[in-house]
Amino acid sequence: MFDFEKLEVYKKAKIFNAGIHLFLKEVKLDPTTNDQLRRASFSIVLNLAEGSGRFSKADRRNFFIIARSSIFECVAILDVLKDENTHEITKHNDFYQQAEELSKIIFAMINNLSK
């Protein structure tokens, strides 16, 4: 087992990514938005994994910053979709809560690497 697979934040990011993937199968979005949301949610998982494999704190921190930025990207896309009434508000709130939790965990990880 790789170290990143043991991280609770990685497991939560995978759940978020899977939820986004299912959501994208349920709703009809334009191809650009669909692709952007899919790639942003996948980026969270991938950057957590890649960052955990880096040896220097600065390298790990950089990948975790990118992962957190991808969360912000997902939230922005979902916010625009909410305004367009593309999906149920309950679905939006669920994704928002998951994203907020991920963001807080990763923020703490970034801060710990800044010391």
Cα 55 from chain centroid (whole Å):
23
Phi and psi angles of residue 62, each rounded to the nearest 5 degrees, phi first:
-60, -45
Confidence check: pLDDT of 115 > 80:
no
In angstroms, the CA 21 to CA 25 distance is 7
CA-CA distance, 102 to 81, in Å (whole number)? 20
What would the pLDDT profile of 75-91 be if each residue is shown by its tens digit?
A: 999 999 999 998 889 99
Q: Once rounded to an integer, what is the mean pLDDT over residues 8-24?
A: 98
What would the CATH number be for the domain defined by 3-113?
Answer: 1.20.1440.60
Q: Where are the domains of the chain?
A: 3-113
Q: Which of 11-15, 21-25, 83-87 has the lowest mean pLDDT?
A: 83-87
Q: Under a CB-based contact definition with an 8 Å cutoff, are residues 64 and 113 in contact?
A: yes
